[in-house]
A and B are shown apart, each in its own frame.
Chain A
């Protein structure tokens, strides 16, 4: 979807103003800690996947997305997912009071949480699919503006790049965001700065992004 999350190339946000590396705290307010931990812990219930999480955040109205801080957006995401999964009702969220007890759900304990963090969630799939493109091929990114989830940044749509690396068959994020675990060949595609941005001062600079085969057509 063409949301406010798709920021590559947007102008006017001003300077980065990075905090010094040596002194920046991991969390900038106490409430950020539980937002972070609740997001990961609820994710461990297995009711949604990481692409559904991303999509829950990016579905905010663009004005909200831009006005919210990072962990405010995470809070929005977790509340959206909890309600959509039927784990929490909107009135429970509003009141903070439990109305319906949960059944059939086991929340991971400390040791299980540690194991889940250490295991992560690999996305490679052992499927017998022959990749359509080979390294060095010129490919054009499809020009799509569907309202669902996609990992094609807007700045790359319709642009021509070169296949630089084959990453193997991976879970296709665009479908996974809707609960469909499909595997497709994934490639790293490199674009020249001039292909993306016209005539930048350093035309030999490049931007490389990972895209799945359904994102690409021969150029």
Chain B
């Protein structure tokens, strides 16, 4: 923060009050429109979220042509589904297979594919995750209850540019008869970051 002129023995104002004061100031100065602020919050609280990514994954599991396009040009395939915008301008989808497991992190800040996953959870932005995902990915996975076979290599994607990564989890066994809507229920947010696998139908409560 710019030097605030406070004597350092004086306790800082409560953060909620400081934020309120800043918001009022910026509105008074005409630098922000209160309705625009509402629009921004509403967008991420009610419209954009991981249910979108789940639709992308479920479609890729069901439609080989779409999956091929998604892996070849993630940006275009995802825009075709109507998901685009801030923090998803450039998308790359990385596929989990029997021999490769992908894990996404941003060690330098909090880069995350907003249009398909929404805003990141606290743990994704936390120092423990950002520090460990690159040096100890299997320890991180274990903390999420995810264990991989020894023949599965882990590939960690550290998001250092404006390219955003989405993991395409493996389609669980025993889902041949699932509808698209049922498949979407198997796709957790965490599976699209790569810290977990997709849910089995049993785990998702699908008969």
Task: Give A residues with C-beta under 8 Å from B.
Answer: 5-11, 13-19, 21, 24, 26, 28-31, 33-38, 40-42, 44-45, 50, 54, 57-58, 66, 70, 72, 75-76, 78-80, 82-83, 87-88, 90-94, 96-98, 101-102, 105, 107-110, 112-114, 116-124, 151-153, 155, 165, 167, 170-171, 173, 186, 188, 190, 196-197, 200-202, 204-212
Task: With both chains docked as a complex, state the minimum distance between the C-beta of A4 and any C-beta of chain B, in angstroms.
Answer: 9
Q: How far is the CA of A197 from the CA of B138 in the complex (A)?
A: 14
Contacts of B108 in A (CB 8 A): 5-8, 54, 58, 151, 153
Smallest Cβ-Cβ distance to A205: which chain B residue? B154
Contact between A105 and B30, CB atoms less than 8 A apart? yes
Contact between B89 and A123, CB atoms less than 8 A apart? yes
Contacts of B137 in A (CB 8 A): 205
A contact patch SS: mixed
> 5 tightest A-B contacts by CB?
A8-B107, A96-B21, A210-B161, A113-B36, A18-B123
Task: Give B residues with C-beta under 8 Å from A.
Answer: 1-6, 15-16, 18-26, 28-33, 35-41, 43-45, 84-90, 92, 105, 107-110, 118-119, 121-123, 125-135, 137-138, 140, 143-144, 153-163, 188-190, 195
Contact between B4 and A113, CB atoms less than 8 A apart? no
Task: With both chains docked as a complex, state the minimum distance between the C-beta of A194 and any C-beta of chain B, in angstroms.
Answer: 12
Q: How far is the CA of A19 from the CA of B178 in the complex (A)?
A: 29
Contacts of B5 in A (CB 8 A): 90-91, 94
Q: How far is the CA of A90 from the CA of B2 in the complex (A)?
A: 7
Contacts of B158 in A (CB 8 A): 8, 153, 207-209
With A40-B40, A112-B36: A120-B190 Cβ-Cβ less than 8 Å: no
Contact between A206 and B161, CB atoms less than 8 A apart? no
Contact between B29 and A117, CB atoms less than 8 A apart? no
Contacts of B190 in A (CB 8 A): 21
Contact between A121 and B89, CB atoms less than 8 A apart? yes
Contact between A204 and B160, CB atoms less than 8 A apart? no
Contact between A124 and B25, CB atoms less than 8 A apart? no
Contact between B153 and A16, CB atoms less than 8 A apart? no
Partner of A30, one of B16, B38, B89, B163: B16
Contact between A18 and B121, CB atoms less than 8 A apart? yes
Task: With both chains docked as a complex, state the minimum distance between the C-beta of B127 and any C-beta of chain A, in angstroms.
Answer: 4
Contacts of A26 in B (CB 8 A): 44-45, 118-119
